[in-house]
Structure 1
Amino acid sequence: MGIGKVYLVGAGPGDSELITVKGVEAIKKADVILYDRLVNPRLLEYAKANCELIYCGKLPTRHFMKQDEINQTLLEKALAGFTVVRLKGGDPSVFGRVGEEAEVLADYNVNFEIVPGITSGIAAPLYAGIPVTHRDYAGSFAMVTAHDKSKNGKPDIDWEGLARGVQTIAFYMGISNLEHICDNLILNGKSPNTPVIVIRWGTWSRQQCVEGTLSSIVQKVRDENIENPAITLVGDIVATREKTKWFEKKPLFGQQILLARGSADEKSMAADLIDKGADVIEFPKWEIKEKALDRAVKQKVTSYRRILFKTTEAVTHFFNLLRKNKIDIRHVQAKLYCLQPSSIIAIENKGLIAQSADNMDTDGSLLIIGGKIKNEQRWKLDYKYGVHDYASVYETSIDERFDMVIKRSIDDAAITTILLPSSDAVHMYMKKAEHYELSSHLNDPLISVICLNKQAFQTATMYGLKPTLMVENINPFTQASVNVMAKTQ
């Protein structure tokens, strides 16, 4: 195996949809990903099933991996022939130390590409409703590090040039040096009444904004206990926020939701929740592996009169297996039925017609297609559908690579809501609560526990939980269900 390649990728500021297309494509082909603390964990879901995930995040008080260790790991993995992605929050060239990493790779003749990303100094203000330039307020903009390699950790910059020559200034990670920043800007010509906004966790639903002036912002930030990660924006442009803020108006803004999934077959509602403004942590993460088509089923597949798909995954893998086994779909004569509406759509997208299982007749041999199931689940199918064959075309397991990702996400969040979509999800939550350090969340009076059907509610009650409420038909979302969720904040 020859030398591999390294992609130094900007992941954007937090919102997972702000990564570039090129960044996503790099993640998809990676054998190894080294990711930072501020990278949205949802981006790692693009990775291959066998991709190695290495957390190298930094906190103000401790580093999981020092920069020298990161550099060495990039080198070792690339020299071993792997495709490596270094996934960095924001843009890798804006205080992201990408230059240092690229120099090390160049010294060893390792091929690399740098993929730009959206930097938080622009994105966080925009999600707070503030453009960093505006014809009426600001025609210049600067991005400034609020800490550097100086002995006292204070930024060593041209304060006079900054104060007098730049109309909008974004300071990165400046909470510990905020008083030093404000004092120096005032001493060098900025008015004490210059508007300032500090934006913590910009572009996330947990985003917090504290507004003030150069003379008042330090005390306001202390009063609100604001910590990094944060962007401090200084300039008259801050005054535009009241009219143009938009992100904070989303119905579920501020909701930090822990979404339990009882199985890989449960449809995730995370995308809908995020679109409404929430942060969502899904757990556990499920891994799906395709299985070979059973020899007996393969020989008989064209002779069945009825085929019932239990899940949408079953549809996907069944048709994949037909193709792999060189079985022409035109030779499959069965009527097609599905348990889930999404499965019907998946079949229709292949140019075929399917019906709901509720409309299935009883005429002819039946093949049921799904994932690997337990004996008691087989018994239920026998009871409901009578004589049939069963084809297990995939199997699921918990993807333990995401354990660190999930735990880190929970540590960074302040959970407001726990969603339990099914009875299986309740069982899974109780089984994994201690592993993910979630036990204390169940009886926290500040956290709403919402069950999404009667079975989930009954199971939660059986465990001694006290669900805040039960909301049925929350997915697909109706305005009524969104209103219920928003009221739990």
Structure 2
Amino acid sequence: MKKGKVFLVGAGPGDVGLITVKGLEAIKQAEVILYDRLANPKLLENAPAECEFIYCGKLPDRHILRQDSINELLVAKALEGKRVVRLKGGDPGVFGRVGEEAASLAHNQISFEIIPGITSGIAAPLYAGIPVTHREYGESFAVITAHDKSKGGSPALDWEGLARGIDTIAFYMGVGNLPYICENLIANGKPSSTPVILIQWGTFGRQKTLQGTLADIAQKAAAAMFRNPSIILVGDVISLREKLSWFEKKPLYGRQILLARTSNGPSELAKELMDLGGDVIELPKWKKTLVHIDLEKVAVYDKILFAQPESAAEFFEALIDNQIDIRHIKAKFYGPSIKTIKALNDRGVTASLADEMPSSGSLLIVGDNSVLKNMENYELFDVMVTSQKEIDWQFMPIFNRMLGEAQIDTMIFPCSASIEPFLEALRKCDISIEEYVRNSLVVCMGKQTLAAARGAGLMDAQMPAKATKAALIEYLIENIGLEVRS
């Protein structure tokens, strides 16, 4: 069998938009992905549907897979002829042990590529408003591991060289060794008044910071129970933060949002929430399989109602595949939502909302296999199923880990159809919906969605004035201080 190839990819520091174009292309073509704890799991949604995911996450007190096992897996999967991606948080060459993995692949004569990523020691400070170099405050910069192979895990470094020769220092994953770091820098000549900042989950919407000096930061971190993953930045350049802070000024910064998802495509709402600083987890992940569509009688209907935006695209693609001219269809087109209307408009046809549809005339309803669940308002109709949609259960362990790292304070249901599968997914994961509801602002878009949510037991659910993205965002901003845990 022909050997496969391995791509050692830097995922960037957390914000999914910071992965490189080349890294994203590798994910899109992967057959196997071995991913770390600090690689944002949302990136896995770009992989092919049949891709195998293997979690290699590491915590200070335990390892899911040890490094030797990871090396062996990379070799084994490549020897199966697979296209393998090793997805690592930040940059694989900065404390990512990529040298060991590459050496193992080279030893076994397996082809590989290393794709750099943005390292957290630079990105996290920038998202906190701090450039790591500046002509007036810092012309030298060092990245340092705060754990090494020395006894006890305390780094054996040239402390004098760091204290006297480097303006700005970024220590990776060093909160546990913070007192040791501060003591050694002060003892070797760094002024105790030197500014220090801790940046946790840098570039995520859940990013947190804690400022102090070498003299007091360890005490502050202990009092605040500050934890990894964190960058410790030391240097006078931190004084620029007050002027240059930008990420933390976004209107939804700090919001940790659980968004109920109904489609397998990209969500414009999720993107907009993230662009405004929110930390968004979409649940559940869907997978869709197209089915054969019989278009023989499509021209006889007076009305065609498209149940979802995706069904419009699938319908028109089927027309093209079967060489049917849209002009042969006499029906007027309808959709239940503005999003579906837009999908039809994008195909060059006019459409109206389902509420405006006359009762007379023959009706065809087009949608995926869930189409009959929400059509109780229509008496006589035929159904055309364009695809089979189901929850992608292989993503549920991934969601479990994502939710375990987050502190959800907001839940959003964009439509009534999003509620039942969302609750089903949480139940399958043994996750208590009551806990999330108790600690979250529950927001529904529209009266039907609100009624469905309360019917499902979410009695504290609320809604914005209008069922639009703009109204939802305005509502979240107005309620930014409510039900949010510190």
Q: TM-score, normalised by structure 1?
A: 0.91
Distance 1:266 1:452 in 2: 18
Please report how far the alpha carbon of residue 300 of structure 1 lies from its aligned counterpart in structure 2 after TM superposition.
2.7
Taking every aligned residue pair, what percent have the same amino acid on both sides? Answer: 50
1:435 match: 428
Distance 1:281 1:375, change over 3 A: closer
Task: Output one character per residue of 1:204-263: Cα deviation in whole Å (capped at 9) or x when no partner.
Answer: 121111111111111011011011100000000011111111111111111111223366
Please report how far the alpha carbon of residue 99 of structure 1 lies from its aligned counterpart in structure 2 after TM superposition.
1.1
1:318 match: 315
1:299 match: 296
Partner SS state of residue 486, structure 1? coil
Partner SS state of residue 136, structure 1? coil
1:401 pairs with 2:394: yes
Partner SS state of residue 241, structure 1? helix
Correspondence for 2:334 among 331, 334, 337: 337
1:248 pairs with 2:264: no
Distance 1:441 1:174, change over 3 A: farther
- The residue type equivalent to 1:98 in the other structure is V
1:349 match: 346
Distance 2:251 2:391 in 1: 32
Correspondence for 1:419 among 405, 412, 422: 412
Distance 1:451 1:364 in 2: 33
Greater alpha carbon shift after TM alignment, 404-413 vs 42-51 = 42-51
Alignment RMSD: 2.5
1:18 pairs with 2:35: no
Please report how far the alpha carbon of residue 443 of structure 1 lies from its aligned counterpart in structure 2 after TM superposition.
6.8
Distance 1:337 1:429, change over 3 A: closer
Distance 1:251 1:391 in 2: 43
Distance 1:25 1:443 in 2: 35
- The residue type equivalent to 1:412 in the other structure is E
1:48-447 alignment, distance < 5 Å: 48-261=48-261, 269-294=269-294, 298-302=295-299, 304=301, 306-329=303-326, 331-332=328-329, 334-360=331-357, 366-373=363-370, 380=376, 382-383=378-379, 386=380, 388-439=381-432, 441-442=434-435, 445-447=438-440
Whether the aligned pair in 1 keeps the contact of 2:260 and 2:418 (CA below 8 Å) is yes
Please report how far the alpha carbon of residue 372 of structure 1 lies from its aligned counterpart in structure 2 after TM superposition.
1.3
Whether the aligned pair in 2 keeps the contact of 1:460 and 1:467 (CA below 8 Å) is no
Distance 2:356 2:440 in 1: 42
Correspondence for 1:482 among 463, 471, 476: 476
Whether the aligned pair in 1 keeps the contact of 2:261 and 2:282 (CA below 8 Å) is yes
Please report how far the alpha carbon of residue 370 of structure 1 lies from its aligned counterpart in structure 2 after TM superposition.
0.9
Whether the aligned pair in 2 keeps the contact of 1:441 and 1:447 (CA below 8 Å) is no
Distance 1:126 1:316 in 2: 40
Whether the aligned pair in 1 keeps the contact of 2:370 and 2:389 (CA below 8 Å) is no
Q: How many residues align?
A: 482
Greater alpha carbon shift after TM alignment, 343-352 vs 316-325 = 343-352
Please report how far the alpha carbon of residue 363 of structure 1 lies from its aligned counterpart in structure 2 after TM superposition.
7.8
Distance 1:465 1:311, change over 3 A: closer
Partner SS state of residue 99, structure 1? helix
Distance 1:76 1:144 in 2: 33
Distance 2:266 2:89 in 1: 30
Whether the aligned pair in 1 keeps the contact of 2:304 and 2:363 (CA below 8 Å) is yes
Structure 1 residue runs without a partner (length 5+):
none
Partner SS state of residue 176, structure 2? coil
2:463 match: 470
Distance 1:267 1:161 in 2: 49
Distance 1:265 1:105 in 2: 35
Partner SS state of residue 149, structure 1? coil
Whether the aligned pair in 2 keeps the contact of 1:263 and 1:424 (CA below 8 Å) is no
Please report how far the alpha carbon of residue 361 of structure 1 lies from its aligned counterpart in structure 2 after TM superposition.
5.9
Distance 2:40 2:9 in 1: 13
Distance 2:306 2:464 in 1: 27
Partner SS state of residue 39, structure 2? coil
Task: Output one character per residue of 1:335-358: Cα deviation in whole Å (capped at 9) or x when no partner.
Answer: 433333333333333444444445
Q: TM-score, normalised by structure 2?
A: 0.91
Task: Output one character per residue of 1:45-66: Cα deviation in whole Å (capped at 9) or x when no partner.
Answer: 1111111111111111111111
Distance 1:334 1:264 in 2: 28
Distance 1:381 1:113, change over 3 A: farther
